[in-house]
Amino acid sequence: MIRNVFINAGSAVEIDRHFDKGFKALALEAFRRLESSYGSVEPDTLVISSMAPESMSEQIGIAGVIADHLALRRLKVFRVEMGEASGLAAILTAYSLVSSGLSKGVLVIGVEKVSEYPVSLIAKVYSMIGDSDYTGLYGISPASEAAILAKIYMDRYGYSYEDLFKWPVLMHKNAVKNPHAQLRFMLKSDSYKDSPIISEPLRLLDAYPFGDGASALYISSMPGDTAVEISGVGSSNDSCDAISREDPLFFRSVRESFDDALRMAGIGRDRVKYIEIHDSYTPYAYIVLESLGLVERGDAPRKISMESSSIDTTYVNISGGLKARGHPWGATGIYQTYEVFRSLLGEAELSDSYGAVQSMNGPGSQSYSVIMRRVR
């Protein structure tokens, strides 16, 4: 029998360069905040999402180390790693454990610690999300790949760089209201003029900031007093680099994973009120929105205004997204899910409000989607 799966509690630590905290301290703070806000939990399973602790913290077996630091014993313990999409991969793992009956309560913690090292090393480790024997060997960084797609996008659909820059301006506006966002300040529409180029035409303000973070969720088979149900999940993959695909401006894995999640939830796109998407670089925001089917191909920049991040009846990245909330790698999917969880709980309606999370590794190389519904 497949059991229903609910998110009962969550928390998020402010994303920043936490020079005074290691990954254990960040995970502990996320756990304490969860219990402080929602009451104590009794997990029988711990799932840790972290992308690069071996490189950034010189630690393998990180899930066992964190379980010990949190004084959690007699648990099933896992660490999930799927590059930038590790967080949602961990959510799918927790969902599978609970729905199958193998676990009754799963504590999921996404944690990443990167700021102990210089930016050059952080960027080198981040570049490993691609195929090291192919794009890595030829020196094509994630930013360079995003820049290539930006140029193709502008050329195909007749946009200027200024047209695309609306997205970072809007994300910074949204992040000002997010207490755990890393970049809580506004941008002017011409701020790019003072922003250095990282890979032409993309500038520093088109990329996410490096930062440390930890976010936690408690997922169980019991709805509790207030709960959000995970009603659909999906996952798919594609070639590791976008240029090898038939159409580099369509992330097929994003469409397939989202369609699978919607089908499982039994709803259409128009029912999704909140969605958090993976916008590590400016062009990816537009390509993802189009690949999800929320807007027509080539229409995303025209659909976005600097006044609101809503597309029709769907609110997109009210957190500020990876661009301004921050992107602590393996923890990001947990942050995204927590943000939609909180948005759904803040609804006036008691039930049937839907939210979604989309996460991916690289330019849609591997993609994950989650659909959530408020039930109480």
Give the three-state DSSP class for 369.
Answer: strand
Fold of 228-374: Peroxisomal Thiolase; Chain A, domain 1 (3.40.47)
Angle at 86 between CA 113 and CA 303, to 5 degrees: 105
Residues 205-221 have a mean pLDDT of 97
How many whole angstroms separate alpha carbon 27 and alpha carbon 6?
21
Q: What is the DSSP string of 217-236?
A: EEEES---SS-EEEEEEEEE
Residues 81-105 have a mean pLDDT of 98
**Residue 120 · residue 225 · CB < 8 Å:** no
Backbone angles phi, psi at 351, to 5 degrees: -155, 175
Q: For 247-302, what is each residue's pLDDT tens digit?
A: 999 999 999 999 999 999 999 999 999 999 999 999 999 999 999 999 999 999 99
Q: Which tokens belong to 103?
A: 């676990």
For residue 339, the surrounding DSSP H or E stretch is helix 332-345
The whole-number pLDDT of residue 348 equals 47
Domains 6-118+210-220 and 228-374 share a fold: yes
**Residue 15 · residue 110 · CB < 8 Å:** no
**Residue 287 · residue 141 · CB < 8 Å:** no
How many whole angstroms separate alpha carbon 133 and alpha carbon 128?
10
Question: What share of the chain in percent tops pLDDT 70?
Answer: 98
**Residue 224 · residue 8 · CB < 8 Å:** yes
Q: Does this model's pTM top 0.85?
A: yes
- Angle formed by the axes of helices 166-175 and 282-292, nearest 10°: 90
**Domain positions in the chain:** 6-118+210-220, 228-374
Q: Which tokens belong to 113?
A: 């610690």
The whole-number pLDDT of residue 134 equals 86
The whole-number pLDDT of residue 351 equals 58
Question: What share of the chain in percent tops pLDDT 90?
Answer: 90
User: Would the pLDDT of 375 be above 90?
Assistant: no
Residues 213-218 have a mean pLDDT of 98
- Please provide the CATH number assigned to the domain covering 6-118+210-220: 3.40.47.10
The whole-number pLDDT of residue 369 equals 98
User: Does the bond joining 201 to the residue before it have cis omega, within 30 degrees of 0?
Assistant: yes
Residue with tokens 């970049």: 183
Q: For 120-178, what is each residue's pLDDT tens digit?
A: 999 999 999 999 888 877 889 999 999 999 999 999 999 999 999 999 999 999 999 99
How many whole angstroms separate alpha carbon 301 and alpha carbon 161?
11
Among residues 277, 244, 246, which one has the least CA distance to residue 360? 277
The whole-number pLDDT of residue 78 equals 97
The whole-number pLDDT of residue 336 equals 98
